[in-house]
Amino acid sequence: MESATIDQIIDKHRGEASSLIQIMLDIQGEHHWLPREALDRVSERLQVPMSRIKHIATFYKAFSLVPKGRHEVHVCMGTACHVRGAQRVLDTVQDLTGISPGETDPEMKFSLETVNCLGCCALGPVVELDGKHHGNIDPGQIATVLENCEQGKSQGPTTR
């Protein structure tokens, strides 16, 4: 964790306390989590008390106070996905990655989360991997999708 990159992010938002959430989102985007040192720096530079930062960091699901893997897997468990077999999808993802929802594997490759609706019920069951939606997914396809993500990243930005 470079404090220079944190300062860069803070400078981008002109160090304004009103941009706190945006700054936290940028740090989260950059590092996949909010390290303590980064939050200390934000608190110091923006003159925002740590209690407030902690409240925000724990309020929004978008933030994480523990390290996350390089790839974030979101399995939709919403009603439409549920009736189309989301549980089998989740079971398969858990088997392949070896982690349960909320966990990160020791190699820091994947973090797994369940979500309640991704807003594209017609595509159910849906798995979101690093922001890319994989709709109508069959448990048999999941291994391929998970394997491809490391190469997928080097191919440039994925469409959302």
Partner 1 sequence: MSDVRLTIDGKEVTASRGMTLLDAAQSVGIAIPTLCHHPQLEPYGGCRICTVEAEQGGVTRLVASCIYQVAPGLVVRTRTEKVNRIRKVLLEEMLAHAPESEILLNLAQDYAADKDRFEKEPSFCIHCGLCVRYCAELKQKHAVGFIDRGAQREIHFIPEIAGQECWDCKECFPLCPTSALQAAYVLTEALLTPAKKPSCCS
Give the total of residues touching partner 1 (CB under 8 A): 8
Sheet arrangement for strand 132-134: 110-115, 71-76, 127-129, 132-134
21 in contact with partner 1 (CB under 8 A): no
Helix (H, G, I), strand (E, B) or coil at 12: helix
59 in contact with partner 1 (CB under 8 A): yes
Of 49 and 67, the one with the shorter C-beta distance to partner 1 is 49
What are the angstrom distances between the C-alpha of 94 and each of 24, 84, 104, 114, 142? 29, 18, 11, 11, 11
Of 5 and 43, the one with the shorter C-beta distance to partner 1 is 43
In this chain, which stretch among 9-17, 55-63, 70-78, 135-143 interacts with partner 1, using CB under 8 A? Answer: 55-63
Amino acid making up residue 58 = T
50 in contact with partner 1 (CB under 8 A): yes
Instruction: Enumerate long-range contacts of 52-60, CB under 8 Å, 24 or more apart.
Output: 52/20, 53/20, 53/24, 56/20, 56/21, 56/24, 57/24, 60/21
Among residues 55, 108, 136, 150, which is the contact residue for partner 1, using CB under 8 A? 55
Of 39 and 93, the one with the shorter C-beta distance to partner 1 is 39
16 in contact with partner 1 (CB under 8 A): no
Among residues 49, 98, 102, 131, which is the contact residue for partner 1, using CB under 8 A? 49
**CA quadruple 139, 144, 146, 147: dihedral, nearest 10:** 150
Q: How far is the CB of 103 from partner 1 (least distance, A)?
A: 19
54 in contact with partner 1 (CB under 8 A): yes
51 in contact with partner 1 (CB under 8 A): yes
Single out the residue of 76, 3, 65 nearest to residue 34, CA to CA.
65
